[in-house]
Amino acid sequence: MHIHILGICGTFMGSLAVIARELGFRVSGSDMNVYPPMSTQLETLGIELMEGYCAGHLEPKPDLVIIGNALSRGNPAVEAVLSSGLTYTSGPAWLAHSVLRNKWVIGVAGTHGKTTTSAMLAWILQRADLWPGYLIGGVTQNLEYSSTLGKSEFFVVEADEYDTAFFDKRSKFVHYGPRTAILNNLEFDHADIFDDLAAIENQFHHLVRTIPGNGLIITPYEDHSLEAVLARGCWSQRQQLGLNVIPELCRTMARKVGVFWNTETTDDHGSSFELVKYGGDKDGDVVERCSVSWQQTGLHNVSNAMAAVVAAHHVGIEVSVSAAALEEFKGVKRRMEHLATVRGIHVYDDFAHHPTAIAATLQGMASKLSREDKPRRLIAVIEPRSNTMQLGVHQQRLNDSCAAADQLVWYKPVNSGIDFDCIMQESEVPVCGFNEVDAIVSFLVQFSRGGDHIVIMSNGGFGGLHQKLIKALA
């Protein structure tokens, strides 16, 4: 059977292609943006990639076309599918029907941290010899591919709130039916499809409605948007997570919600911390404690790790086993991925596409650099590429999100909804902006010096900036 995937180089659809290939299907796909690391992964597996969306890519006719949510009516390939009467479906619907039935699904949802938390969780389960299936919206450093069928009843899925397809405007995650659900956080995002935060909360409550009574919902302490979602109705068990919450409050929350987990960090950049479990009896006392020292940085990653440990605990994995796995966790490509060090200048790639994610990443790195013996400069290079960023929805938060940097470089796309002149005038961080990638490279080559850490932030290919810079620095 031949499956053709439209939008195959997207993080979700690319991972879907890997699973379809593993099931024995012949898989091909088309996309407008064919770039690493997803394109490299697919080509390694022998999956045929085609540039663009031509009707000719659908000849000879495939048995099934899976259409990504980035495509809409008017797209030549979509119009050819409809006009030819080809059988088609969405990625989430295909995954639910072909893979997730009769599985213990562990879904990871939230505005931030889905990919990293999913990767941590899949790695923990694998290190515990449970050999889960998983589908992660990125390429991980510990796991060979971004997805696999696995060899057990467990399946970890990154549960995205973005819509399913042009013909199904529900969020992807309503298809998955998780038994264990992590709701990491909830903020306004995806302004191209959601009018406001309330619209996203509606979709999250649709997800909550699908979780069974014997399932588990894992949420952070004091996320007011998630609390508003759950106040509308919750039919499942709950456990809450805290970050440096005072012990007495932890005990109070344990008595209230049943179990409360806390992390106590021993430094401000998250390279070591303690996981503490408070029981739900009348005293709410500490029932378990475990230390972790690992390679990751940032308190946001500490929170992601705690969520992964609690989800793993729900399927029967001891906390100490999870902690040992976390200490071996190498991260996810494009999440503060160190690409190269050239003449003492360190270059990183990061996927951050929202002010909260930008702030968390830069604060974590700045905190780490502040502890080193010699002064180090943190240079942030940002392409505001997501639909929400381009619309200018988060403009008022951008300067605050970049406050931890020592130098800021903006890529200013043509016809952006962001008023860059205003942002640059109000920035308290030294800042410059450019309309061309080559101009950014030229500036960085002249400006940077040994000891600098350059973090390139984009959820796309950024015009090949990463490799162009590394080559130019050499």
In tens digits, the chain (474 residues) has pLDDT values of: 999 999 999 889 998 999 999 999 999 999 997 767 778 888 888 899 999 999 999 999 999 999 999 999 999 999 999 999 999 999 999 999 999 999 999 999 998 889 999 999 999 999 999 999 999 987 788 998 889 999 999 999 999 998 999 999 999 999 999 999 999 999 877 777 788 889 999 999 999 999 999 999 999 998 999 999 999 999 999 999 999 999 999 999 998 888 999 998 866 678 889 999 999 777 889 999 999 999 888 888 899 999 999 999 999 999 999 999 999 999 887 778 889 999 999 999 988 777 888 888 888 888 878 877 677 899 999 888 776 676 666 777 888 888 999 999 999 887 778 888 888 888 889 999 999 999 999 999 999 999 999 999 888 788 899 999 999 998
Per-position b or e across 162-198, b if 16+ CB within 10 A of its CB: bbbbbebebbbbbbbbbbbbbbbbbbbbbbebbeeee
pLDDT at 370: 80
pLDDT at 393: 67
Rounded to whole angstroms, how far apart are CA atoms 84 and 78?
10
pTM for the model: 0.81
CB of 303 closer than 8 Å to CB of 243: yes
pLDDT at 385: 79
Closest CA to 175 of 73, 293, 66, 34: 66
Rounded to whole angstroms, how far apart are CA atoms 405 and 327?
28
Place of tokens 């923990």: 124
DSSP per residue over 77-102, as a string? HHHHHHHHT--EEEHHHHHIIIIITT
